[in-house]
Structure 1
Amino acid sequence: MPCRREPLAVAAAKAPQSSIHVRTTSTSPPTSTTSAPGPKAVLSPHNPHLMLALDSPEDEDNSHIIGPAVTNDTQVLADYLSSEPSIHERMIRVVKPRLGSQVGQTPRSSMDLSGGIRKPVIFTAVRKRPFGLSPRQTAPLQKYQIVEKMLEPWTSTLIDLYFQKVNICFPLLDEVSFKHQFQTARDRISPALLSVLYAHSMIFWKNCPDLPSEYCPDSRFIWNQATETLFSELHISPGISTIIAIILNVGGRPTTSMIMNEIQLGAAVSLAQSLGLNRDPTDWNISIPEKCLRMKIWWALVVHDKWLSLAYGTPPQIKRFQYDVPDPTLEFLTSKDASDAQNGAASVFIALVTLTGVLDKYLEFVYDLNQDRDQDNGQTSLGLELSLGQWEDSLSDDVRRIITRGNNLHIPGAANLRLAYLSTKLLRRRIELDIEKQEDAALGDALTNRYIQVRRAAEEIVLLVQELEEIHLSDFWLPVSAFAFTSAITFLLRCALETENTAAGLAQSASLRLANNLIDSLQSHQQKSGWDLGDLCLAQYAEVVEKLMTADSPSATVPEFQQLMMSSEVPIIDELFPNLWDMF
């Protein structure tokens, strides 16, 4: 989606001359501009305010941020070399905060960690690829060409589908400028980015009237080719396009390789930090489109990092105190002439990013191996509850109705947001139960109440799945949403197994009936709509639930299930996350 932009002349006037390098190429009609810390910027001749900021594999160098430990030393050197433009431009590029903070800017954006005025952000040019490797390797380019040949003549339709279904809900690219370069200078776009973008859109093929229903290329083959192209680019010439391609790859459906997702995300986070994407660019002397691109990429990385952490059971890689990028606002996500659907989707995305901040606080508790859990547990529970409550109060009325009542699910991305909220709520209730169990091992009233609260949180997820319609199933979903179902059903089965002593009583358990309802709904969505998000839960638990529902054996069989699936003494992480290795 486009960003609100300032006139190009104004942006150029504010930028220091030493930070702008202009060049032209014989392969691309538009003018290419590079601001010091960022990637190539392709300016459309039809609208010079639109910037792609996507690098090409042929580019020789990347900008690499200089760490804060040596910033002051490098600043002195930069000032000295400023009298030698040729050396200065090649070695050091400085982005200085614009004089006069913007109105409404948060203190975190204008202050450094020590409470003083923000220091300049300094970059140096580093070689992009290993010595001896040409920018265009034959093997990855051939794989990209295979993907494109398989999808012709529908490549443009898949691009449109990506912006209609994905980018509106999870903004990364500027639609107008990307499509302009796709039509006029496609060879300047990263093959990895194009391959992954095609593969990412394949999940929506069957619901698109502009694509043939009688023919659909093998999406798994296309994903494999796209992933190999991406890994080749990551090795040969990583850049900002590589980060975007990784985000699309990790966010692609269906999920088939958790470990590779974690490896890719780790690479993307490291590359983004080396390019300074973790720094707040709002007061930098760079164009607004470049600011938008940098922040969108970082928001996407944070969202994937935290939700993959919840789903996969591994600590997040991004720490809150290591970035100062502000939360998204409509100013950076929509244009003045945006449609109601675009504004609604942008509001949902803002809520998802800020909810991710709440989730991050919960994850800090879950993964803290050194804390004394017996100390101040009441205050911990209150703090967790307060974080989610304050987030709810910060929402607009339309978005608040999405997460509290399940209304307005027709807004793009709304159903995914509600499931994310319910997952966070289930996690909070589960943490509170764990704290209560530490304080009172006996099944007293307080502990019983905690069990009821967790079961109700899981029940809300079941009800949401039952209420989903075709329009919701064909909407945008984060693939990690699938783990909300396994988490909910794991706890429901545990409740049933811990509270019933006979097979007959187990079959009539309210918790087991809820688990069975979830399985039935996921199977229905899978069969009628081909919805893939329930596949993992069905593969792991459909047979188990069926056996428990039809159990007519003596009560001695119940503890066998209980001992097999979970124990009241296992750590919180093992209780929260099911056995994920079954999917391999």
Structure 2
Amino acid sequence: MDDERPYRSHTKPACIPCRRRKSRCKFEPHTEACLMCRAHGTECTFPNGRAKATHKRPSTETLPRIPHPAVRTQPLNDPMVASPQLPSQIPNLDTPLSLEADDDNPHIVGPVVTGDSHVLADYLSNISGQGMREIRPVEPGSSSSPVIFTKVQKRPLGLTVNSNPAMKNLETIEKLVEPWGTHLIELYLKKVNPCLPLLDESSFRAQYMNSRHRISPALLANLYAQSLTHWRHDPVLSRERCPDSRFVWNLAIEASYSELHASAGISTVKSLLLDVGGRPTTSMTGNGVRLSSAISLCHSLGLNRNPLPWDIPQAEKHLRMKIWWSVLIHDRWSSLTYGTPPHIRRSQYDVPLPIPEYLSDWEYNRAANSVFIELMNLTEVLDHCLEHVYNIRLEGQGPARNLELELNRWVDSLVGDIRKVIIRGSNLDIPGASNLRLAYLATRLLLRRIDLDKERKAQDPSSEVMANRTMEARRTAEDIVVLVQELGETQLGDFWLPVAAFTFSSTVTFLIRCALETEQTAGLAESASLRMANDFLESLRSHQRTSGWDLADICLAQHSEIVEKLLNSPPPVMNSESNAEQHFMHDMAFVDDLFPSIWDTLQSI
């Protein structure tokens, strides 16, 4: 059947259900029912009786799947992957919730009116055979509330269908990365997706080779841009000239914004998350705006709801949860490093934490997926810490949660190689392990600084307790320094969250503060904390010079000059306490703005 049949043509009219819905009646090759009838589960009939078919949603038990080992061993450009027989083996992802229709989006109805909508949907179904699209729990004894979706228009009024700036930007990017576009996608699926699963690998591979025109241009543009980070670490690409990553990123960001304006949907969420997770980081404000847009879309599309009890294909349940997990990770870790409250509250979502059964690629990405699962569990611990940090109204509340106990419980739950990563700092060759260890140390340093801040604010602070708190926090900062010093080429080219760059910067800031507050009596040149900060900067400088490690850029730009000046400053004159303080403040005035608060609010680079 013709895929380009004109809408409501007299020669090829729309089916009867689409005419009732006043929706576009569009067919795909080798299908008996149109897209909208397949989405709504209605009978696709025509006035002249030329076609009649009933689309049935496949059950989760019979959903066909591609054997992962076979797909994993074949690159994207392997002719076997693009063979005509492959699409028949691929699960159909055009399900009612993830369907990226031309004109409409599924929009979740709020819980206040859901009950009313169910009554209306049942009534309309009884009298006309139609009704509203709704998802009801199917698991026996499920306590999940029924969920209902309505159709909302994606495209603003007056915007033509053919207006697609994102496609133009994608075409430019594909020209810049020729002939390595397919290789970059393969690189992303190998290096990044196992550590932070955002795509269903098998279905995306098949769609990329057989129906690339159906993939969001903004999504593809951001995939190419993010993969450029690993260009120099790939044995094939490292011998080739890498395109200008900043120019490519600007095109990808423009594509995301244009799609957000013109036809926002689930693919837009993915492209925004790829953008926020991209390196190098150049703007906290821009990342915050795009992340908040992605979170708003997630709530609109119902991605914050647990889909496991829903009557939808298993593959789609897992894909929806993967997107939400990625949103949570970016929201909470950027909140820690950017100094802004997280957008998502724990009470407003019920998506379960990841386990191996929810990760379709577990069998051949076992090590990387294990790291991801523990990163997600650690992110939940971090959320409790952030609730304390950003809680403005402390009066009238119950006893504070024991944050140290929460972190220790997580550590105690670890087993095998992941436990060695956290306890001993070994086994860092596991994909994503270095990023996980840094995330753990950053959380531990946050707890140490919370305790230190409490002691400072105490009515009668103990000097001994204060000294002990300071040493504990400095020892955690030293662990971060040692981690970075011991990174090899494998770890430098591994997966890292981009907010790691700000963790390095805040660690150096804390060490400088320790030097100024506790070690300036004999002169800052003799300060152990300041020497540690200088060694840290030297390691970052070495990684930047030898491997082009972009995560070192922000810390070096912010602190290199400051640490050098402090190390070269003369010791204070000790004639009297007042004179020493005046001499020091006169020479060190340039550090006045370095410590606005304990959270080290950083400026955008």
Please tell me the TM-score bracket, short chain as reference: 0.7 to 0.9
Q: Does 1:407 align with 2:431?
A: no
Could you tell me which runs of 5 or more consecutive residues in structure 2 were left unpaired when the two chains were aligned: 1-23, 42-56, 65-85, 574-581
Identity of aligned residues (%): 49
Pick from 273, 292, 300 the counterpart of residue 247 of structure 1. 273
Count of residue correspondences? 531
Q: Is the contact between residue 505 and residue 554 of structure 2 (CA under 8 Å) also seen in structure 1? A: yes
Q: Is the contact between residue 497 and residue 561 of structure 1 (CA under 8 Å) also seen in structure 2? A: no
Q: Is the contact between residue 255 and residue 479 of structure 1 (CA under 8 Å) also seen in structure 2? A: yes
Paired amino acid for 1:319? R
Shift of 1:237: 0.2
Change (3 A) 1:210 1:22: farther
Q: What is the distance in 1 between the residues matched to 2:555 and 2:93?
A: 42
Q: Does 1:496 align with 2:515?
A: yes
Paired amino acid for 1:70? V
Q: Is the contact between residue 452 and residue 466 of structure 2 (CA under 8 Å) also seen in structure 1? A: yes
Q: What is the distance in 1 between the residues matched to 2:425 and 2:437?
A: 7
Pick from 496, 501, 513 the counterpart of residue 482 of structure 1. 501
Secondary structure class of the residue paired with 1:167: coil
Partner of 1:323 in structure 2? 349
Partner of 2:463 in structure 1? 444
Q: Is the contact between residue 355 and residue 373 of structure 2 (CA under 8 Å) also seen in structure 1? A: yes
Q: Is the contact between residue 540 and residue 552 of structure 2 (CA under 8 Å) also seen in structure 1? A: yes
Q: Is the contact between residue 52 and residue 174 of structure 1 (CA under 8 Å) also seen in structure 2? A: no
Paired amino acid for 2:535? N
Partner of 1:533 in structure 2? 551
Change (3 A) 1:335 1:232: closer
Counterpart mapping for 1:350-429 below 5 A:
350-372=373-395, 380=400, 383-429=402-448
Identify the range of structure 1 (301-310 vs 392-401) with the bigger mean alpha-carbon deviation. 392-401
Q: What is the distance in 2 between the residues matched to 1:478 and 1:203?
A: 12
Q: Does 1:62 align with 2:80?
A: no
Partner of 2:319 in structure 1? 293
Pick from 540, 543, 546 the counterpart of residue 522 of structure 1. 540
Q: What is the distance in 1 between the residues matched to 2:424 and 2:186?
A: 32
Paired amino acid for 1:544? I
| 1:34-84 per-position Cα deviation (integer Å, ceiling 9, x unaligned) | 479xxx999863424364779687621111111111111111111111225
Q: What is the distance in 2 between the residues matched to 1:81 and 1:30?
A: 22
Change (3 A) 1:153 1:84: farther
Shift of 1:323: 0.1
Q: Does 1:238 align with 2:280?
A: no
Secondary structure class of the residue paired with 1:82: helix
Shift of 1:431: 0.6
Q: Is the contact between residue 497 and residue 558 of structure 1 (CA under 8 Å) also seen in structure 2? A: no
Shift of 1:29: 13
Pick from 153, 162, 165 the counterpart of residue 139 of structure 1. 165
Partner of 1:154 in structure 2? 180
| 1:270-317 per-position Cα deviation (integer Å, ceiling 9, x unaligned) | 101111000001111111110011000000000000011111111100
Partner of 1:542 in structure 2? 560
Change (3 A) 1:258 1:35: farther
Q: What is the distance in 2 between the residues matched to 1:448 and 1:50?
A: 62
Secondary structure class of the residue paired with 2:449: helix
Pick from 113, 118, 135 the counterpart of residue 95 of structure 1. 135
Q: Does 1:223 align with 2:265?
A: no
Q: Does 1:167 align with 2:193?
A: yes
Q: Is the contact between residue 515 and residue 529 of structure 2 (CA under 8 Å) also seen in structure 1? A: yes
Q: What is the distance in 2 between the residues matched to 1:192 and 1:451?
A: 47
Pick from 333, 336, 343 the counterpart of residue 366 of structure 2. 343
Change (3 A) 1:424 1:28: farther
Paired amino acid for 2:346? R
Q: Does 1:513 align with 2:503?
A: no
Q: What is the distance in 1 between the residues matched to 2:509 and 2:499?
A: 16
Change (3 A) 1:469 1:289: same
Shift of 1:334: 3.9
Could you tell me which runs of 5 or more consecutive residues in structure 1 were left unpaired when the two chains were aligned: 1-20, 102-109, 111-116
| 1:376-429 per-position Cα deviation (integer Å, ceiling 9, x unaligned) | 8xx53x611111011112222321111121111111000000000000000011
The structure with the largest alpha-carbon Rg is: 2
Q: What is the distance in 2 between the residues matched to 1:422 and 1:52?
A: 42
Q: What is the distance in 2 between the residues matched to 1:507 and 1:526?
A: 25
| 1:311-345 per-position Cα deviation (integer Å, ceiling 9, x unaligned) | 11111000000000000011111447x23xx1011
Q: What is the distance in 2 between the residues matched to 1:444 and 1:195?
A: 56
Identify the range of structure 1 (462-471 vs 438-447) with the bigger mean alpha-carbon deviation. 438-447
Paired amino acid for 1:471? T
Partner of 1:262 in structure 2? 288
Shift of 1:213: 2.3
Q: Is the contact between residue 28 and residue 188 of structure 1 (CA under 8 Å) also seen in structure 2? A: no
Partner of 2:115 in structure 1? 72
Pick from 70, 83, 91 the counterpart of residue 49 of structure 1. 91
| 1:232-273 per-position Cα deviation (integer Å, ceiling 9, x unaligned) | 000000000000000100000001121111111111001011
Change (3 A) 1:200 1:55: farther
Q: What is the distance in 2 between the residues matched to 1:316 and 1:372?
A: 21
TM-score (norm 2): 0.82
Q: What is the distance in 1 between the residues matched to 2:372 and 2:321?
A: 13
Partner of 1:191 in structure 2? 217
Q: What is the distance in 2 between the residues matched to 1:351 and 1:457?
A: 20
| Root mean square deviation, CA, Å | 2.8
Secondary structure class of the residue paired with 1:126: strand
Secondary structure class of the residue paired with 2:134: strand
Secondary structure class of the residue paired with 2:570: coil
Q: Is the contact between residue 87 and residue 210 of structure 2 (CA under 8 Å) also seen in structure 1? A: no
Shift of 1:522: 0.5
Q: What is the distance in 2 between the residues matched to 1:441 and 1:564?
A: 32
Shift of 1:469: 0.7
Change (3 A) 1:557 1:528: farther
Change (3 A) 1:482 1:245: same
Secondary structure class of the residue paired with 1:533: helix
Q: Is the contact between residue 52 and residue 177 of structure 1 (CA under 8 Å) also seen in structure 2? A: no
Secondary structure class of the residue paired with 1:580: coil
Secondary structure class of the residue paired with 1:357: helix
Q: Is the contact between residue 191 and residue 495 of structure 2 (CA under 8 Å) also seen in structure 1? A: yes
Q: What is the distance in 1 between the residues matched to 2:599 and 2:592?
A: 10
Q: Is the contact between residue 55 and residue 241 of structure 1 (CA under 8 Å) also seen in structure 2? A: no
Pick from 318, 336, 345 the counterpart of residue 310 of structure 1. 336
Pick from 168, 172, 176 the counterpart of residue 202 of structure 2. 176
Q: Is the contact between residue 523 and residue 570 of structure 2 (CA under 8 Å) also seen in structure 1? A: no
TM-score (norm 1): 0.85
Higher relative contact order (CA 8 A, sep 6+): 1
Q: Does 1:25 align with 2:43?
A: no
Change (3 A) 1:122 1:562: farther
Shift of 1:565: 3.6
Shift of 1:372: 3.8
Q: What is the distance in 1 between the residues matched to 2:171 and 2:309?
A: 41
Q: Is the contact between residue 494 and residue 562 of structure 1 (CA under 8 Å) also seen in structure 2? A: no
| 1:458-477 per-position Cα deviation (integer Å, ceiling 9, x unaligned) | 11101100111110000000
Q: Is the contact between residue 304 and residue 348 of structure 2 (CA under 8 Å) also seen in structure 1? A: yes
